[in-house]
Chains A and B, each alone.
Chain A
Amino acid sequence: MQFDVSALTTTMTEAVRGAIGERWALLRALAEPEFRKLAQTLEDVRQLHADGKIDENRAWDLVEMQRNTALNVLRGVQGIGLLTARGAVDAAARAAGDIVNRLVGFKVI
């Protein structure tokens, strides 16, 4: 049975989209090509196994490396997402700063 690389890419992409919500648009351009490459390498491993060029243990080793790589993509998306959110919070804090400082009577933000 062959992987549907496109469907697999979409599945991984949608999972991340659900997890990061509105920040998705900013991170999509970063994550999607990486997931597409990962889906392709999964298909390459399946093909090597189907052709009898690697055994099951070797296939598992390569899939484990892919799992580590997928986690790298997620960590990167998470970090860049947090930095993006941080930027939004800083902007919100700056925007709120004038009002809050005026209300409390000294510079708190």
Chain B
Amino acid sequence: MRKRTKAILLSVATLALSCAFIAGYDPRIDAGASALQQKVGTFLIDLEQTAGTPEGEYGRHIGFYDEVRTDISELRDVASAHKGNDITLQSLDLIEANVAKLEKLHAEGISREEIGIVRSLFDTQFRMLLQLENAKKRKEN
């Protein structure tokens, strides 16, 4: 009987440990990521309209990039306060990497067609991040 008990306990413990721990739902990350998605989306729609005109020049939009970096940094701070948020943090890092790339392309000169591609990529990045946060929420409900 003791052997059987040990075997069952070991199986359950192994099964539980085999699944990496994922942090719980934090509405601040969900709301912050949604707001950031909106901000980046609106910026890219506007830039698509003004690309190639003085209004669309990089110099006039430096503040946007600083603001987005600050927003991502704040979201990182909230996410890193919870254990098991590695995937959320990595997702934010990948979004930040694409913001840096977009800034480089914008500074060099970016066309409407390129903005269309970039917009689709950011849509996917934010959608995946929000899907993960919503999955955490569903798990808790």
* Interface residue ranges, A against B (CB under 8 Å): 30, 34, 37-38, 40-41, 44-45, 48, 53-54, 58, 61-62, 64-66, 68-69, 71-73, 75-80, 82-87, 89, 92-93, 96, 99-100, 103-104, 108-109
Contacts A62-B114, A79-B135 given; does A72 touch B128 at CB 8 Å: yes
B135 touches A65 (CB 8 A): no
B5 touches A100 (CB 8 A): yes
Work out how many contacts link A and B, with CB atoms closer than 8 A.
Answer: 123
Task: Judge if B45 is at the interface, Cβ distance under 8 Å.
Answer: no
A79 touches B132 (CB 8 A): yes
**B contacts with A, residue count (CB < 8 A):** 45
B22 touches A86 (CB 8 A): yes
Task: Judge if B121 is at the interface, Cβ distance under 8 Å.
Answer: yes
In Å, the complex CA distance between A38 and B122 comes to 11
If over half of A's interface residues share one DSSP class (helix, strand or loop), that class is named, otherwise mixed; here it is helix
Contacts A30-B131, A68-B94, A83-B139 given; does A103 touch B124 at CB 8 Å: no
Shortest CB distance A89–B (Å): 5
Which residue on chain B has the smallest CB distance to residue A76? B128
In Å, the complex CA distance between A84 and B104 comes to 38
9 A-B pairs closest in CB distance: A76-B128, A79-B87, A79-B132, A69-B121, A72-B125, A103-B5, A80-B135, A68-B94, A85-B19
B135 touches A54 (CB 8 A): no
B139 touches A79 (CB 8 A): no
- B94-138: CB near A (< 8 Å → 1, else 0) gives 110110011011001001011011101101110111011001100
In Å, the complex CA distance between A94 and B96 comes to 40
Shortest CB distance A8–B (Å): 15
